[in-house]
Structure 1
């Protein structure tokens, strides 16, 4: 068995897609399955992680030669908007393109049940839910970095934090406004700013954030974010799964999320705290109330411990077995 494991524009793709691909390749190494990162028709299976034009070209030719094609449904029109400059304008024509692109695959991998439900409105290509997973090994030793990273960014506990690209879709406006309403907390968003790629509104929100709201920019050792943070606050409006959420849970951090369909698998009050995703003001008040409750260390410890246990189901070992079965079935 040899896999052509291809990520189009690999030198430019960052964030969750890149992290998912790193997880997949770590799994392939563990399973001792030979693979190349180049697109090729000299393989038993073509696995595409981003269905750009080059991937579509190879997928069409692989199908014509009887080579099975597996595609990842990382990208949907629904989560493309409110990300970077011009993405809102591209979101509408993106769906018919993806309908054709995903339709070229023999099977699709969906990172969550929510994502699968969306994709089934794009194409009748068979879908399988396989989590992006969480790499616990990557987080080892994170607690040793607590003092260093809190001092680096002048953070006092309890620290409300988020990890990932700073984009409006992930709840930037809510995050900034929470910092403004709760000056007794320090807020820190760890992740690339990419100001040249931001829309005008996103840039404004970053530049007018209160003093207790820190945007760190790119963090070379992401373990520092999970060391410095106390409450993972994720007010995202749209998400396919959320690798940073799984990492925060694996690190034993209490999680606070907007109650959207993506997070239906999380039990409110046990795995996390959820806030009604109604109108903006109602949601904001819900986040304020939840963060005030999370000032209680006992509640933080209980939720964090439960989150860590829940995250075990998303280990790379579990995900690896799903990939092995999927590859064998397709080949």
Structure 2
């Protein structure tokens, strides 16, 4: 089987979508499936990861030639707002565009049940839920970096941390204000700042954050974030899945998350702590190292089903079905 696995704007897109694509390509190599990174129509299937204009053009051509089209639904109008400058203005017209272009596919891959429920309002194209997955090999040996990264960013145990692009949608204001109300704890957000792409409110929150709140900027070895952090804090308002959450769980970190539909697969009090209100009580409870270890162990166990070998089999099944 030969798959044309195309990621439009690959040189410019970072964050969760990029990590998902890297995971997919690693899965294809493990499965021994021949893959091309360019949108070739001499393949058994065309797999598109971002429905930009070039991807749409090839999807239309593929349909006329009888080549099955698979599209990943990484982008929705719902999670597009409160991200970078101008994304709020673009979110409204984005939905009818996505309704049309997702309808060009023969099969859609959704990273979560929540994402699938959104997409089923866009189009009647058949959907399959396959997690973005977590690459445990990428994170191997993270613990050895603890001293280096704690010293680099002057962080003390227990450090409350987040990983990924610093976006308002991901609960930036909650993160900053929680840090302000809990000055006895260190808070660290590991991930690109991209100030030129940020709106005025986002930059105000970053610049006005308290002394115990650190924004590291881009971290070349992301294992350092999981080494220096103790409690993963993810107060995001909207998420299709959350690769950083899966990574934190797989490295045995307890997670504190906002109680939103996306995280319905998590069990409050067992493999995470959830709340729809203030997060102080939950973070206060995780000052206890025994409670952190208990939740972290359960979180790692839950993350087993998201490991790449499991998601690889699911991806292969989709390819076989459409081909």
On whether the aligned pair clears a TM of 0.5, the verdict is yes
Partner of 2:314: 322
SS at match of 1:114: helix
Instruction: Name the structure 1 match of 2:268.
Output: 268
Alignment correspondent of 2:221: 221
- For 1:235 and 1:183, the matched residues in 2 are separated by 18
Paired with 1:136 and 1:99, the residues of 2 have a C-alpha distance of 34
- 1:166 is matched with which residue? 166
Please list every run of 5 or more consecutive structure 1 residues that lacks an aligned counterpart in the other structure: 277-282
Query: 2:14 aligned with 1:14, yes or no?
Result: yes
1:289 aligns with 2:281: yes
Q: 2:295 corresponds to which residue?
A: 303
Distance 2:211 2:108 in 1: 44
CA distance in 2, matches of 1:30, 1:292: 43
Q: Give the alignment's TM-score, normalised by structure 2.
A: 1.00
DSSP 3-state at the match of 1:166: coil
Query: What corresponds to 2:67 in structure 1?
Result: 67
User: When the two structures are superposed, what TM-score results if normalisation uses the length of structure 1?
Assistant: 0.97
In structure 1, the partner of 2:175 is 175
5 Å matches for 1:105-124? 105-124=105-124
Shift of residue 40, structure 1, vs aligned partner: 1.4
- Distance in 2 (CA, whole Å) between partners of 1:64 and 1:141 is 48
Shift of 1:209: 0.3
Partner Cα separation in structure 2 for residue 319 and residue 131 of structure 1: 7
Question: Structure 2 stretches of 5 or more lacking a match?
Answer: none
Q: Secondary structure at the match of 2:99?
A: helix
Deviations 1:265-297 (A, max 9, x none): 000000100012xxxxxx22xx01111111111
CA distance in 1, matches of 2:72, 2:52: 12
Runs in 1 of length 4+ with deviation above 3 angstroms? none
| CA positional deviation for 1:42 | 1.4
CA distance in 2, matches of 1:313, 1:270: 16
Q: Which residue of 2 aligns with 1:231?
A: 231
Q: CA RMSD in A?
A: 0.4
State the SS of the aligned residue for 2:257. strand
Count residues with an aligned counterpart. Answer: 323
